[in-house]
Structure 1
Amino acid sequence: MSSPHLKAILFDIGGVVVQSPLLAIREYEIEHRIPNNYINCLITGRGSEGAWQEFERGQISLFPFYEKFSQELSDVDNGNKWYIEYCERKNIACPELPQKLVIDGRELFGRMMRTSQTLDKYVYEAILRIRAVERWRVIALTNNYSKIDASFLGLDIRYSKRYPGVTLDSELRFLGWERGPVPPHIRKLFDDFLDSSEVGMRKPERRFYLLACERNHIRPQEAVFLDDLGLNLKTARELGMETIHVPMGGAASALRILGDKLGIDLTQDLEPEANMPSKL
């Protein structure tokens, strides 16, 4: 159904415009025989005060983040408790839980970031079609880590001994960030690009969504938001935005829904391989 009142489309980046880093987490879990979604429970269980959340808000430098992230990912006491609660919420049988974990946060984060350097061509082409109409603001609303400056590494003597020879350039290569966490040609797709690490707030914090509206002179009711995570979509709906869930590997179906709302075809005539990933 068409939504003629819409003035803006808000896109998440990871899991929508580019491949989800959750794929790397799942691969890691399979390799190390960790229950499905266990690591995500470890990341989200700490609420807004975890290492992941602090890093996305630009509150902690990279190597201190690695250290804290490693500690939190290896915390099976809390991990098992949160995973049991997750299984109960999902009404699924709880598998055998780990008694000990030693997860290297740097290794896992590096895999996640390299995975998310893969562009979804369906979404890329859809954004180009939307922009060609010149009717809507196209906005990125992303939990990201783009605040890269002289203090980014946080590489004091402790980490220098543990990681000899590491430089800013070498670490950016390790993460697949030679052109930045989000390369310039991706940023240029958007009329506005709200990065959590640059503004000190993140999804699903209400103020982050409201900042996007304020900066682009729209009301939440005039926006539609695409994200791969239900928690982020929930806040958007509560504020009055229309929402579209983008499931892993399901960009085409999400874009058909968006196209119906906008009254334009976002998938017609795309090549069959257009939904296949490509490097940024």
Structure 2
Amino acid sequence: MESNNGRIRAVIFDIGGVVVKSPFIAISVYEREHRLPANYINVALSKKGARGAFQQYERGEINYEEFVDLWTDELNEVEQNNAAYRQYLQRRNLDVHMILPQETQINGSVLFAQMMELAQTPNDCVVELIRWLRSRGYRVAALTNNFKNDTVSVTVRNELLVGLFDEFVESSVVGLRKPDPKFYLHVCNLLEIRPSEAIFLDDIGINLRAAKALGMTPIQVEIDKELDAVKAVKNIIHSCGALSPKI
């Protein structure tokens, strides 16, 4: 967490892992149940970069059926995933002799459903923070990498999030996704602020680094430490001075 010591006018929130429970919890459970190394699926998810199935789905470029088929194929590319995972271990000085899968049977449809199920559980302290900010005159936005025509995500948004934010910006609608700087600038334009006038909360390091590079004040939200992030936001707000103090 870092502060730009400037005037804050808006706070921008990721959804999954910030406003609602993290899908990474479901990924970790799936890995343990199927005896996969920790973070193996995350490495497989990210190894193809912006052209991966998950990333295409978040930009609304493919439909659910196309996504599930393509993602399942990617998750079961054992040779490529093992090579990417070895590089991951080396970068972090972890045990490079870890036993890796000889074959996998990762079901992309089942895994995705488990990830989306967690999206129905709000982090209550973050929801209350959003309401607190709006009551004091701050602009509040969601900036989320999400999915078009996903019934679970739509249900969560309709029942939990409608009316909570001034702006709700979705990758699947805009056709951009974090960490693309244009996605961050898009929400700033909607809020009519400079990036330096925003606090940005996310659970993923690369997304926070992109926000910081634009001049935003980044706060990382860790699993089961959401209250720490709430306190960090309020500390920054109080240090910068309230927009419209209320008793």
Tell me the TM-score normalised to structure 2 length: 0.91
2-structure distance, mates of 1:72, 1:2: 40
1-structure distance, mates of 2:33, 2:78: 18
Letter in 1 for 2:230: L
Letter in 2 for 1:191: D
Give 1:61's aligned residue.
Answer: 63
1-structure distance, mates of 2:125, 2:181: 29
1-structure distance, mates of 2:4, 2:79: 49
* Offset at residue 180 of structure 1 (A): 2.4
Q: Between 189-198 and 212-221, report the one with greater CA deviation.
A: 212-221
* Offset at residue 9 of structure 1 (A): 0.2
Per-residue CA shift, 1:149-206, capped at 9, x if unaligned? xxx7xxxxxxxxxxxxxxxxxxx4xxx45x5252344131100010000100000011
24, 36, 39: which one pairs with 2:38?
Answer: 36
2-structure distance, mates of 1:255, 1:115: 20
Give 1:246's aligned residue.
Answer: 221
| 8 A contact 2:4–2:217 mirrored in 1 | no
Structure 1 alignment gaps of length 5 or more: 153-171, 265-280
Q: Between 184-193 and 66-75, report the one with greater CA deviation.
A: 184-193
Runs of 4+ in 1 over 3 A off after TM superposition: 1-4
User: Secondary structure of the residue that 2:20 maps to in structure 1?
Assistant: coil
What percent of counterpart residues are identical? 41
Give 1:194's aligned residue.
Answer: 169
Give 1:218's aligned residue.
Answer: 193
Give 1:130's aligned residue.
Answer: 133
Letter in 1 for 2:235: D
Give 2:144's aligned residue.
Answer: 142
5, 8, 11: which one pairs with 2:7?
Answer: 5
* Offset at residue 214 of structure 1 (A): 1.2
* Offset at residue 104 of structure 1 (A): 1.2
Per-residue CA shift, 1:21-45, capped at 9, x if unaligned? 1101000000000000000000011
User: Secondary structure of the residue that 2:55 maps to in structure 1?
Assistant: helix
User: Secondary structure of the residue that 2:122 maps to in structure 1?
Assistant: strand
Provide the alpha-carbon RMSD of the alignment: 1.6
Per-residue CA shift, 1:208-245, capped at 9, x if unaligned? 00111111111111111000000100000111111001
Letter in 2 for 1:91: N
Residues 1:180 and 2:182 aligned together: no
Letter in 2 for 1:22: F
2-structure distance, mates of 1:40, 1:104: 14
Per-residue CA shift, 1:22-74, capped at 9, x if unaligned? 10100000000000000000001110000000000000000111000100010
49, 72, 90: which one pairs with 2:92?
Answer: 90
Letter in 2 for 1:103: I
Count of matched residue pairs:
236
| 8 A contact 1:144–1:197 mirrored in 2 | yes
